[in-house]
Chain A
Amino acid sequence: DARVTQTPRDKVTEMGQEVTMRCQPILGHNTVFWYRQTMMQGLELLAYFRNRAPLDDSGMPKDRFSAEMPDATLATLKIQPSEPRDSAVYFCASGFSGTDTQYFGPGTRLTVL
């Protein structure tokens, strides 16, 4: 049963600390999406990769957020320094370009104190 995995599941940190979230897409998928879910904004796209290349990161605050795919089995989202307004659930989703369906991981709930 292929699934997208994300670590950590929950993260509590203090303002100013660096946070790294990891995602393992489904084997064979070549697209990876990072979404953020908050009560106020709902679900919004932060970044999108295809074949490990970033195609769209316009939703990401560039000064503190960065997203990478070091290899086809790992995507990372980093926040440095973190702020209380970054508190949210961060989802990773993967898919295969040419198809329409994205499969979501369980999310990382980030709390910045």
Chain B
Amino acid sequence: AQTVTQSQPEMSVQEAETVTLSCTYDTSESDYYLFWYKQPPSRQMILVIRQEAYKQQNATENRFSVNFQKAAKSFSLKISDSQLGDAAMYFCAYRTLYTGANSKLTFGKGITLSVRP
């Protein structure tokens, strides 16, 4: 079974600075998807960024980028130019490449990010 680990429960960053959130996972599969979801106080789960394991290029979405290290099974999220609106809980998630009964997302425990003005 796959597992996702987010070992840092909380992080803090100064507004306009850069912060990196860590995530490691364990799987025996060679192809899969990885995601970062954001959950602000509103509770809504918002997709931030996704990465296909078969792509070597790291995904980027505006101020959000990932550092995907397949061999190390590491998938960190970098937030540049942090904004007050980035304050939220962030979840790392894994999904198998194959559709079917195992298409669920496996989530880490999450990390609470606070942004200091």
A residues with a Cβ closer than 8 A to B are: 31, 33, 35, 42-45, 48, 50, 55-56, 89, 91, 93, 97-98, 100-104, 106-107, 109
Contacts and interface: CB of A to CB of B under 8 A. Distances in A.
A38 B45 CA distance: 14
Interface string B89-103: 001000101011111
Contacts of A109: 43
B12 to A, nearest CB: 20
Contacts of B35: 101
30 contacts: A33-B104, A35-B105, A42-B107, A42-B109, A43-B91, A43-B105, A45-B104, A48-B101, A48-B104, A50-B99, A50-B103, A55-B100, A55-B101, A55-B103, A56-B101, A56-B104, A89-B43, A98-B99, A100-B33, A100-B52, A101-B35, A101-B47, A104-B37, A104-B44, A104-B45, A104-B46, A106-B42, A107-B44, A107-B45, A109-B43
